[in-house]
Amino acid sequence: MMDWTAAVDGYCERVAPGFWQEPVNAVTNAAFLIAATLALRSWRRSGGDDRAGLALILIVFAVGIGSFLFHTFANRWSGLADVLPIMLFIQLAFYLALRRVLGLGVAAALLLALAFLVVSSLVGPWLARSVGSSGAYLPAGLAIVGIAALAPPGRHGQRRALFVTGLLFFVSLAFRAGDMPVCPAFPIGTHFVWHCLNAVVLYRLIRVLSDARGGMQGAAA
């Protein structure tokens, strides 16, 4: 039986067991809460009727809380609390991008979202073993860029916003990957930068998907 309380130590800042051994990594999860709060304000100003958009916002709140738990308790159960909201956000955002940016029907979007889940679940662990744990997030970044590249001609603003968001995601991922390599010279590591930049990425994705809803010509999503 798996021991859900077994300690996990995978970050430069943590040098010993204990709740407050990653203070910078823990505190910077506030960036996700700020991003979700700003997105919620925007959601209310836009009418407050986008239920899928609200779901994304609530998931970002959960991302911040789950990541805080992981960087304080640092064990297997808190690791699950960290990963599950992230996975849920990726899947829902991908589905909404297929619907709202590419204009696919519900059945096609669900099928492609399921295919993306299966492929990323298979490829992600292989990438994590090959290039480090940050490799598991590469499919998500490629999905952002891929949606941008496939956006129809009338979606110039969203295409540009998605390309910029994808670039920012890969920059944030580089800071995540660089956490342990820079550890000898920079004892707190760079994982906290991943938190801050990734919060901006999630906020931008919510805004892009919210804006794209207006161009669906009445289609539900």
Q: What is the pLDDT of residues 180-199, one digit of tens each?
A: 999 999 999 999 999 999 99
The model's pTM is: 0.94
Which pLDDT band holds residue 36 (cuts at 50, 70, 90)? Answer: very high
Sign of the CA dihedral running 101, 104, 106, 107: negative
* Alpha-carbon distance values, 101 to 50, 178, 189, 208 (Å): 15, 33, 37, 9
Which pLDDT band holds residue 217 (cuts at 50, 70, 90)? Answer: very low
pLDDT in tens, 107-135: 999 999 999 999 999 998 899 888 889 99
Phi and psi torsions of 7, nearest 5°? -70, 145
Rounded CA separation 128/137 (Å): 9
pLDDT in tens, 40-55: 999 999 999 999 999 9
Percent of the chain with pLDDT over 90: 88
pLDDT in tens, 160-171: 999 999 999 999
Which pLDDT band holds residue 218 (cuts at 50, 70, 90)? Answer: very low
Rounded CA separation 5/207 (Å): 37
Q: What was the pLDDT predicted at 215? A: 59
E strand segments, 44-147:
none
